Copies of this chain bind each other. A is one copy, B any other.
């Protein structure tokens, strides 16, 4: 007869304690396969506990397969149990490489936001409104492309601010542009050749490759991606940022745009992804019209994100499919659930619809313009400023800085790091060798607190000798 102590069982229920005792006996081989367990009533009497307790323990053992019940015969240790190892202690997690950010005095590689720039109060107020007014909708599964309220708000916004007339059905909401790129690979297929700009965000290339697609890189000239390069790569799907290229800042002129549209039209299956990631932040004049707005043949997918315009930590991006692509797209990948929470979709819909997004953009554009000008003036008035040339095109949240020096990029990086300044060379955005890119650095300034920067920090940024 099984005998177990019921002292010091702590907070564990009696039945669970009994279950554990019997389970451990089975695992240790003290109870053998096929052995009959005592009847519930006998065991209960023997241990001085209730029959219900034994019944619950046997029930759990049966549910987990340690024993089986035979009608009118009782409970038996499962025959098929091999001698099983008692639970091993968990393996130790190897030390992860610490990716902790170094504490730079100035970090020109960061493109996060400053907390005071985000309209927290409005955002949470709208969320509360959404919760109190639309709780049913919040718990209804979003369509694959996103909730209609948000797609409608984005369509209205695009009409007013980007001159783009599209219907909400053409819009697909996703948790970040990387997710949308993945979705496009699933839609177009892995037999297609994707092509990105060289230089460019290496992350875009990595995402396409990691999704199993071939991803080529086409060289650029001063007008943007070169048509002969696009042809050379055998491109099917061309991914470009015509409004403001990162990192060069190039705005693609209208002639090149029409050349690319003609290229897309020449062969069925070709498509251009227009990545409009920071078009909201053109500092002078009106925004550059989208490529999609001059595409009459339905070859352009427009893509944008709220990462730059709101915050990268709310993961909401979207793309606009050409009308002819809507049906095949949802037929092929419409079984995927939308990856953005309804709470944030509805909140953002109100944020845009009630005009807060426009106000926020205008406010941020002014803030960024001021930050940019203050930074440029600090650079221009710094020691040896004549050794620096600023390359900017009045758009976006970064500009380029050329060092007129014979020092290598590695030497410049090291010299700046010793001053507590973090800057990434343009060359790092190229695939392969590009000697033209040498001595040029990319400066993101969106999260800089320029007022607090001391003039002293910039002393010697240009270097004192070759």
Bitwise, A284-322 to B at CB < 8 A (1) or not (0) is 111011000110101000000000000111111000001
Query: How far is A176 from B179 in the complex, measured between Cα atoms in Å?
Result: 12
What are the residues of chain B within 8 A of A410 when measuring CB–CB? none
The reply to whether A340 and B175 contact each other, CB–CB distance below 8 Å, is: yes
The reply to whether B252 and A65 contact each other, CB–CB distance below 8 Å, is: yes
Given A96-B330, A112-B141, A326-B94: A344 and B344 interface contact (C-beta under 8 Å): yes
The reply to whether A326 and B96 contact each other, CB–CB distance below 8 Å, is: yes
Contacts of A78-118 to chain B: CB distance below 8 A: 78, 80-82, 84-85, 87-88, 90-94, 96-97, 99, 112-115, 118
Say which one of A39-47, A204-212, A360-368, A383-391 lies at the interface with B. Answer: A204-212
Copies of the chain in the assembly: 2
What are the residues of chain B within 8 A of A114 when measuring CB–CB? 139
Say which one of A162-170, A396-404, A427-435 lies at the interface with B. Answer: A162-170
Bitwise, A229-263 to B at CB < 8 A (1) or not (0) is 00000000000000000000001111111100000
Cβ of A56 < 8 Å from any Cβ of B? yes
Cβ of A454 < 8 Å from any Cβ of B? no
Cβ of A66 < 8 Å from any Cβ of B? yes
User: How near does chain B come to A243, taking the closest CB pair, in angstroms?
Assistant: 10
Closest to A60 in B: B285
Bitwise, A349-386 to B at CB < 8 A (1) or not (0) is 00000000000000000000000000000000000000
User: How near does chain B come to A261, taking the closest CB pair, in angstroms?
Assistant: 9
Query: How far is A186 from B339 in the complex, measured between Cα atoms in Å?
Result: 18
Closest to A26 in B: B254
How many residues in A have their beta carbons less than 8 Å from beta carbons of B? 106
Cβ of A127 < 8 Å from any Cβ of B? yes
Say which one of A128-136, A266-274, A436-444 lies at the interface with B. Answer: A128-136
Say whether chain A's binding surface is mostly helix, strand, loop, or mixed: loop
Query: How far is A223 from B393 in the complex, measured between Cα atoms in Å?
Result: 67
User: How near does chain B come to A20, taking the closest CB pair, in angstroms?
Assistant: 10
The reply to whether A131 and B141 contact each other, CB–CB distance below 8 Å, is: no
Bitwise, A327-357 to B at CB < 8 A (1) or not (0) is 1001001011111111110000000000000
Closest to A132 in B: B120
What are the residues of chain B within 8 A of A223 when measuring CB–CB? 65
The reply to whether A94 and B343 contact each other, CB–CB distance below 8 Å, is: no
Given A88-B296, A223-B65, A284-B59: A313 and B93 interface contact (C-beta under 8 Å): no
Can you list the 5 inter-chain pairs with the closest CB atoms, starting with the nearest? Answer: A65-B253, A88-B296, A313-B342, A175-B339, A91-B323
Besides A94-B323, A94-B324, 4 more A-B contacts (Cβ < 8 Å) are A59-B284, A64-B288, A65-B254, A80-B255
What would 15 A/B residue contacts be, using CB atoms closer than 8 Å?
A59-B285, A60-B285, A85-B294, A93-B169, A93-B323, A99-B143, A115-B138, A124-B131, A128-B128, A139-B313, A190-B212, A211-B212, A313-B342, A339-B339, A341-B341
